Structure 1
Amino acid sequence: MKQTVLVEVKNLKKYFPIKGGILKRTIGHIKAVDDVSFTMYKGETLGIVGESGSGKSTMGRTMIRLYEPTEGEVFFEGDNLFKYSRKEMRRVRKGMQMVFQDPFASLNPRMTIAELIEEPMVVHKLYDRSERNEKVKELLNKVGLQAEYGSLYPHEFSGGQRQRVGLARALSINPKLIIADEPVSALDVSVQAQVINLMKDLQDEFELTYLFIAHDLSVVKHLSDRVGVMYLGRLVELANKKDLYSGPVHPYTQALLSAVPVPNPRLKKERIILEGDIPSPANPPSGCVFHPRCKYATDRCRVEKPLWREIAKDHYVACHLVD
């Protein structure tokens, strides 16, 4: 069965300027996202993992132009999002929503829960007032909250409840794509499971496509269909979760997966300890950005950037070792 492409990212770059001197001239760039390409299919969950500072969140925000891109293209249902003006993007963004890591920071504390969920519908001129009120009650029910909670304020809720409000708000304008930026990392483990299961249920009911950004590989494995691994602004491996977790190819992916706890005290697992720290994205290494921490690095790795290519069906990797 052929999958329908919803999103196509081509050579996406996002550099932040570094200012210096009395005149605050640009003296360099932080290469937060550096030449990333991938495709997302309708109805799937694509998990993106990597250490802090790898560019995961910046990539998600740049895709829907919360950050303006430096280079590259993002196609949503065949349309290049980067050709639209800011005014036109408001209309186009109706099909894409974002759920943030800290729900308290993303919810206006002066607005009630009902007002927060209704606001996107008002902005996009959807429904009349009575229909919006009914929609708010329906969405609260869908995310496991009582309709009466609509009159309360964000500070009166727990972290898990606020994240449910964030999901209801994202769903209020019937999006096709939701970018979830570490939506459960600030929650207790038991609450994480509830929110993840809720996201799976909502995905089935509303036919959603998720870009799920996280650093917890166990959570990503539970929710995702395919998983991409980022390091220092670049994708280094992308495959369906079964292939990635059972046979990681890139040395960085192997190191990450070796750190995932195994729920069996008798089963011993060899840890791969990475040497050194992540290099600065303001001055990334030449060639393969992972080579300073890779025990397999050769002279070629130090000077030549590996190509992003398919090594097996739907299994992509950027590494000279697979040549």
Structure 2
Amino acid sequence: MSCQPLLEVKALTKHFATTSGFWGKTKTVRAVDGVDLTIYEGETVSLVGESGCGKSTTGRCLTRLIEPTAGEVWFQGKNILTLSPEEMRQMRRDVQFVFQDPFASLNPRKTIAQILMDPLIVHGIGTPAERRKKVEEMIEIVGLTTKHLDRYPHEFSGGQRQRIGIARALILRPKLIVADEPVSALDVSIQAQVLNLMQDLQRDFKLTYLFISHDLSVVKHISDRVAVMYLGKVVEVAEKGALYRAPKHPYTKALLSAVPVANPDAVRERILLEGDLPSPSNPPSGCTFHPRCPSCMDICRTTTPTLKITDEGHYVSCHL
């Protein structure tokens, strides 16, 4: 892993305007609310949190699949959010996305060869013969064979389709891959195969990953660092070992206490959070976690904490 930042996210924000009720009252949904994150070359940073916390929206915003409301996303010295459409098209050679649903993300009317060749055509890479050769090489790299190239997506299993999705993202030789829940729709045995494939590809192609997931067992297997999100904000960032060994934020402690353990005789104290996840259209004042926090103090109800370093490389947004 390099000490050089590949991606720096500063105060990334995405608000959605929604209307509800008979009079069409407009509300603002704060899906992502000031995210700061740094990803270094060659590492895997996992973004975790419960459903609805803004993980996927963050991934889509920093690749401009969704246009952010505010903030900065610096990739190799350029702010992605200020690039023109043509400049962004060129940038996409270096930043690719792997989607959660390996079936919905593949065009059912195209063969696998056509799907993998499309990025090369869009970016004007090679002659038709050279493109075909690249496609054949890539399909074998992800564990399939050239005989699969003339088939359609519906002819493959979920694990095979996700391998095709990874091949499509990899064929342009990107530097950063944003993987949004890439194994959540797969069986456990297939999850392990795809995760091992991603790790092999990271080593062979010097890739950097932003891995978005809600499964802390999967995250522990693949990550170098972990960022924990709650209600649109990053509340803790740390090296994997430090986070799993000694989490500092009450929300992180609650998440880790819910992870199943392999030993049936092991005794673990489960931290049960009271109440439901607040609505992002009406977040609580102060620390957004304070209504569910077992260690809530008076300052938590009025003052929003900032992400501060506590130990080397360990950042926490908490008043405790």
> What's the TM-score once normalised by structure 1's chain length?
0.97
Matched letter for residue 19 of structure 2: K
Q: Any idea what SS the aligned residue of 2:32 has?
A: strand
Q: Any idea what SS the aligned residue of 1:205 has?
A: helix
Q: Any idea what SS the aligned residue of 1:106 has?
A: coil
Q: Any idea what SS the aligned residue of 2:189 has?
A: helix
Q: Any idea what SS the aligned residue of 1:47 has?
A: strand
Greater CA drift, 89-98 or 232-241: 89-98
Task: Report if the CA contact (8 A) 2:2-2:42 is conserved.
Answer: no
Aligned to 1:304: 303
Task: Report if the CA contact (8 A) 2:180-2:213 is conserved.
Answer: yes
Aligned to 1:6: 6
- Residue segments in structure 2 that go unaligned for 5+ positions in a row: none
Aligned alpha-carbon RMSD (Å) = 1.3
| Residue 253 (structure 2) pairs with residue 245 (structure 1) | no
Tell me the CA shift for residue 148 of structure 1: 0.8
Aligned to 2:15: 15
Aligned to 1:133: 132
Tell me the CA shift for residue 316 of structure 1: 0.6
Tell me the CA shift for residue 38 of structure 1: 1.2
Once residues 58 and 45 of structure 2 are traced to their aligned partners in structure 1, the CA distance between those partners, rounded to angstroms, is 13
Once residues 178 and 201 of structure 2 are traced to their aligned partners in structure 1, the CA distance between those partners, rounded to angstroms, is 14
Aligned to 2:55: 56
Once residues 20 and 298 of structure 1 are traced to their aligned partners in structure 2, the CA distance between those partners, rounded to angstroms, is 34
Aligned to 1:149: 148
Aligned to 1:104: 103
Aligned to 2:159: 160
Aligned to 1:317: 316
Q: Any idea what SS the aligned residue of 2:35 has?
A: strand
- Pairs within 5 Å for 1:107-126: 107-126=106-125
Once residues 182 and 20 of structure 2 are traced to their aligned partners in structure 1, the CA distance between those partners, rounded to angstroms, is 35
Once residues 258 and 126 of structure 2 are traced to their aligned partners in structure 1, the CA distance between those partners, rounded to angstroms, is 49
- Pairs within 5 Å for 1:253-264: 253-264=252-263
Post-superposition CA distance 1:294-315 (Å, at most 9, x none): 0111111011000111111111
Post-superposition CA distance 1:135-156 (Å, at most 9, x none): 0110010000011100000000
Q: Any idea what SS the aligned residue of 1:89 has?
A: helix
Once residues 246 and 217 of structure 2 are traced to their aligned partners in structure 1, the CA distance between those partners, rounded to angstroms, is 16
Once residues 200 and 82 of structure 1 are traced to their aligned partners in structure 2, the CA distance between those partners, rounded to angstroms, is 29
Once residues 201 and 278 of structure 1 are traced to their aligned partners in structure 2, the CA distance between those partners, rounded to angstroms, is 37
Tell me the CA shift for residue 164 of structure 1: 0.1
Once residues 151 and 23 of structure 2 are traced to their aligned partners in structure 1, the CA distance between those partners, rounded to angstroms, is 48
Matched letter for residue 31 of structure 2: A
Task: Report if the CA contact (8 A) 2:2-2:40 is conserved.
Answer: no
- Pairs within 5 Å for 1:177-216: 177-216=176-215
- Residue segments in structure 1 that go unaligned for 5+ positions in a row: none
Post-superposition CA distance 1:155-196 (Å, at most 9, x none): 000000000000000011110000000000000000000000
Tell me the CA shift for residue 46 of structure 1: 0.2
Tell me the CA shift for residue 90 of structure 1: 1.1
Matched letter for residue 82 of structure 1: L
Post-superposition CA distance 1:73-103 (Å, at most 9, x none): 0000111001112332111121100000001
Tell me the CA shift for residue 28 of structure 1: 2.1
Q: How many residues align?
A: 320
Aligned to 2:94: 95
Tell me the CA shift for residue 260 of structure 1: 0.8
